[in-house]
Amino acid sequence: MSRIGKKPVELPSGVSATVSGQTVEVTGPKGSQSFTATDDVTIEVGDNVVTVTPRGSSKRARQQWGMSRTIVANMVYGVQNVFKKELEIKGVGYRAQLQGNSLKLNLGYSHDVDFAIPDGIKVTCAKPTEILIEGHDAQQVGQVAANIRDWRRPEPYKGKGIRYKGEYIFQKEGKKK
């Protein structure tokens, strides 16, 4: 049984949800988002509450139950607040800067990396070694952060690379003579 799926999603004031078939649309002060659930779950909107229930007892239905509830909860949060991911860059000469609608990364390659910022995402660089990613879609914010991080993952010997803020990188010991 999904413990996450059992809990209903409360709709705060100013946020409304509508269901048509398997598609849920959540509208709030910062915009609207929609999600199409699989046929394994049933989504219902009551008085200021969205509930998700499984249509069967199969493993897939139970998996979709918790996941669908979490996606709806993230949409309710996203239409009134913003999701954030912070990245920090470690390494000599590694830096980032914004140029129009792209992020220019100097990561020790023979060329600079130009990362195109997708629509709906706001990227800021307070310092050349810090990147802040903000948006109303949790999945999109996390995916953009992961794509930027993939250009130079932190390596375990010196810790150089792009890491999430607060991420711990286990340091390996180098060669000994």
Between 177 and 167, the higher pLDDT residue: 167
pLDDT digits (tens, 9 = 90+) for 75-93: 999 999 999 999 999 999 9
Residue-level pLDDT at 174: 86
Q: Give phi and psi for 48, each to the nearest 5.
A: 60, 25
Architecture in CATH for domain 83-164: Alpha-Beta Complex (3.90)
Q: Is the pTM of this model over 0.75?
A: yes
Domain assignments of the chain as residue spans, ordered by start: 3-78, 83-164
The CATH superfamily holding the domain 3-78 is Ribosomal protein L6 (3.90.930.12)
Compute the average pLDDT of residues 128-135: 94
**Is residue 2 pLDDT above 80, yes or no?**
no
Cβ density class 25-60: b for 16+ within 10 Å, e for less = ebbbeeebbebebeebbebebeeeebbbebeeeeee
H/E run at residue 145: helix 138-149
Residue-level pLDDT at 121: 93
**Is residue 1 pLDDT above 80, yes or no?**
no
**Is residue 47 pLDDT above 90, yes or no?**
no
